[in-house]
Structure 1
Amino acid sequence: MTRLIARAGVLALIGVFVALGVWQLDRRAWKLDLIERVEARLAAPPGAPPLGAVGRDDEYKRVMVCGRYLTGHDTYVQAVTELGGGFWVLTPLDSDVGRILVNRGFVTPDRRGQVPPPQGPVAVTGLLRLSEPGGGFLRANDPKGERWYSRDVAAISAARGLGAVAPWFLDAGANGAEWPRGGLTVVRFRNQHLQYALTWFAMAALLAFLAWRVRGRG
């Protein structure tokens, strides 16, 4: 009876390993499809932003908006980029489709508070990004202390008294050597699912081999 229970346990474990390998292959197919769709969005010409609610299928779409920046309402969000540590500068834009938070780009700590938005009408082209609620860097946003660790649209809008704001923000595109430095958005997806799948299949095969050896000796 004990041997039967042990064999059943081994078979069940092998089945679990195989199932995990298959699941990772499914995840790999999903990730490859996601990468293909995002790359298509990045390559497409900029269009009008969506109205109303947005979802994952809207993220990283290239959009263009026209309007005027609302001065005196910049929010500095902690960031780490290829230029080092510093801040994203988020500024509300009164656009032709409503009020939108625009990530104008990155500044180093010594430039904090030194980069007011341009005056007059502007046209901003960039990537649509979903809100980042809660916080980041394992730290919660602290609106009262003016310490922001994620680009939480709702929280920033409430702290600045901006009223109705689009539920997403816009990452402005490259602007040469100007500050804030735009175009630093990193679009990269980890895709190690094939490696994980092979690992699970290898563990299933190894366990099956060991079980066969033990049974042969018995």
Structure 2
Amino acid sequence: MRLILPLLFGLGGFALLVALGVWQMQRLDWKNGLLAEIEARIAADPIPLPPAPASEADRYLPVAVEGQPAGAPIHVLVSRKGYGAGYRVIAPLATPDGRRIMVDLGIIGTDAKDAPLPMGPYAVTGNLHWPEEVDGFTPDPDMKRNIWLARDVPAMARALQAEPFLIVARTLSPAIGPEPYPVGTAGIPNNHLGYAIQWFGLAAVWLGMTLFLLWRIRRRTI
């Protein structure tokens, strides 16, 4: 009896930890499949811009648009690995069919912030996006200096009087200065393998401690 309860407790804990590790591996397979679907969608052939893009149905949809600059752009402060500080240039474009849209043209250096954009028209291929970069801790934009700290699509649409979606450029013709910084899956977290290793590691430690405890109890009863 002195061995049975610790044995049951130890095996139960071990089974639970292994089950959590297996669940994380299943989540890893699901996430890898989801990322593959997103990457395939991003890289698909572009289509004309839909009449009313929706954030759920049309996220990452590849589109091709043309338009003329329709006002001063918004500058979003960013830090890019291997690039340093810079600004994303969010420009309003007027399309030939009378729409006013927002395009993330790419990144410029901080020294190029006040340089005017060349006249259009621009031909853009990119992906529809609604980046989730705004939380309760993000400061409001500095409107006087035109420095934003997040791509707040609804707020940017109001400021630029544009439709409430963003096209993130993959290619831009002509090359006008900003370096396109297209959407990708690199920013989507996928930590399930690390979590699985942790759970399996804890299971191994738990099993080792259980065996050690059983050995100690057995020694005391001999």
The TM-score normalised by the length of structure 2 is: 0.78
Displaced runs of 4 or more, over 6 A: 1-8
* Contact 2:124 2:171 (C-alpha < 8 Å) held by counterparts: no
Residues 141-161 of structure 1: CA distance to partner in whole angstroms, max 9, x if unpaired? 32545431111111122234x
1:8-43: per-residue Cα shift (whole Å, max 9, x none)?
765554344223212311220121112211221233
Contact 2:35 2:185 in 1 (8 A): no
Corresponding residue pairs, total: 211
* Paired residues for 1:90-169 under 5 Å: 90-95=90-95, 96=97, 98-119=99-120, 121-134=121-134, 139-145=138-144, 146-160=146-160, 162=161, 165-166=163-164, 168-169=165-166
- CA shift at 1:7, angstroms? 6.3
- AA aligned to 1:215 is L
CA–CA distance in 1 between the matches of 2:157 and 2:75? 13
Match status 1:88 vs 2:85: no
Tell me the CA shift for residue 93 of structure 1. Answer: 1.8
> 1:157 and 1:70 mapped to 2: Cα distance?
13
Aligned-pair Cα RMSD in Å: 3.1
**TM superposition score normalised by structure 1:** 0.79
Taking the aligned partners of 2:94 and 2:185, their CA distance within structure 1 comes to 27
2:64–2:126 CA contact under 8 A, matched in 1: yes
Quote the Cα distance in structure 2 between the aligned partners of 1:83 and 1:147.
18
Q: Which runs of 5+ in 1 are unaligned?
A: none
Q: What SS is found at the alignment partner of 1:151?
A: coil
Q: Greater CA radius of gyration, 1 or 2? A: 2
- Give the one of 178, 181, 188 matched to 1:180: 178
Contact 1:135 1:141 in 2 (8 A): no
Measured against aligned partners, the alpha-carbon deviations of 1:156-192 in whole angstroms (never above 9, x if no partner) come to 22234x1x513x2111124486411224545414544
Structure 1 residue 110, shift from structure 2 partner: 1.1
Structure 2, gaps ≥5 residues long: 218-222
Q: 1: CA distance between counterparts of 2:48 and 2:175?
A: 27
Distance 1:117 1:3 in 2: 80
Task: State whether residues 49 and 63 of structure 1, in contact with CA within 8 Å, keep that contact through their aligned partners in structure 2.
Answer: yes
